[in-house]
Amino acid sequence: MGNKNFLKIKVVDLFCGIGGLTHGLAKEGLDVVAGIDNDITCKFGYEYNNKTKFLNQDISKVTAEEINKLFGDEKNVIKVLVGCAPCQPFSKLNLKKITKKQLQPLEKFAQLIGETKPDIVSMENVSGLADTKKYPIFKTFINALENGGYKYKYEIVNVSEYGIPQRRRRLVLLASRFGDIELIKKTHKNKKVTVRDVIKTLEPISDGEISTRDPLHRTRKLSQLNLKRIKATPHNGGNSSGWSKDLILKCHKKDSGKTYRSTVYGRMRWDDPAPTMTTQCIGLGNGRFGHPEQNRAISLREAAIFQTFPNNYQFSNPQEPIITGHIAKFIGNAVPVRLGSVIGKSIKNHVKQYAG
């Protein structure tokens, strides 16, 4: 590389979703020229917040020519291809057999790397994908990098060690045609950002209530039974272990269901990071998503904060009604913005090192 003019970094974000990764990269000064995703409902939020174009396309139909056109033919540009392929098939929560169709996005990502030959690649996914015996597709992805002459490094990252107020373990891979590349050093290894740090001062609200100050600070209405359950759950990390028999779910009374009792209908702890945000994170029965003290599940705003989206991030057109399920999906599927910034910083450091 060795040329100090090679300092403009252009990025194409595959599987961009609502733009968490893009936003983090852009905060570090990287020029994200486009995001590509097959979910048209992400278009407004992605373009409004990131001031770049959203291409509504199925990744399987995207060609190398289209990617190269997005990068343009400007000289002295470092081309970066990033993406978080749909991770649900590789999640521990997926108990079904993975289909060939579900593997196609990651296979296509590898194919596009081979055909477009970007200078730098970043891929983020669930930690389980690193098990190459269980998921040989990851080995195929690595082989594509090796065959393309890339140096690469991947690691399982607990994002709380980078100041994200959430326990979220992710596989993060960086690859470069220039030389060795790795993530920046952990910034919060010994001092995690906690639930208390980021949501303690938010206005208290009830289940089913919408804040008058913040339309995103809204919660799902609980059934009468679930309201009894959350009231019977001890504050600050409590779970269903102390519930009376009439509150316990039938499936949890069986021996096979007892182990799940500690993983759902629980409250968060004030002085720990939040659990992993999912697309179901505003539902009480979908994890430990109960508020530490208030008798409700977390709000959309709280979920967005745990994913480190800035408060002014618009997930949908303010002229249209908020569709709670859509926004929960946007938030749960996103790469945390701060993790995007960490990846961006790592790429910048790498470019400076090899630019002289």
SS3 content of the chain, % helix, strand, coil (to 5): 40, 15, 45
Instruction: Check if the beta carbon of residue 98 is closer than 8 Å to that of residue 126.
Output: no
C-alpha–C-alpha distance, residues 16 and 315, integer Å = 14
Residue 190 β-bridge partners: none
Could you confirm whether 87 is annotated as catalytic? yes
C-alpha–C-alpha distance, residues 5 and 251, integer Å = 63
Strands 169-176, 77-83: pairing is unpaired
Q: Which of 16, 84, 87, 281 is catalytic?
A: 87
Amino acid at 170: R
Q: What is the DSSP string of 26-56?
A: HHTT-EEEEEEES-GGGHHHHHHHH-SEEEE
Instruction: Check if the beta carbon of residue 329 is closer than 8 Å to that of residue 322.
Output: no
Instruction: Check if the beta carbon of residue 78 is closer than 8 Å to that of residue 352.
Output: no
Question: How far is the CA of 219 from the CAs of 1, 18, 181, 207, 346, in angstroms?
Answer: 51, 21, 42, 5, 36
User: What is the edge-to-edge ordering of all strands in the sheet holding 151-158?
Assistant: 53-56, 31-37, 8-14, 77-83, 120-126, 169-176, 151-158
Strands 77-83, 120-126: pairing is parallel
Residue 72: both structure tokens together: 């343009």
Distance from chain centroid for Cα 231? 31
Instruction: Check if the beta carbon of residue 168 is closer than 8 Å to that of residue 159.
Output: yes
Amino acid at 260: Y
Residue 172 β-bridge partners: 124, 155
Candidates 25, 27, 126, 1; CA nearest to 81 is: 25
φ and ψ at 172, to 5 degrees? -120, 125
Residue 225: both structure tokens together: 């039974």
Report, as residue numbers or ranges, the catalytic residues. Answer: 87
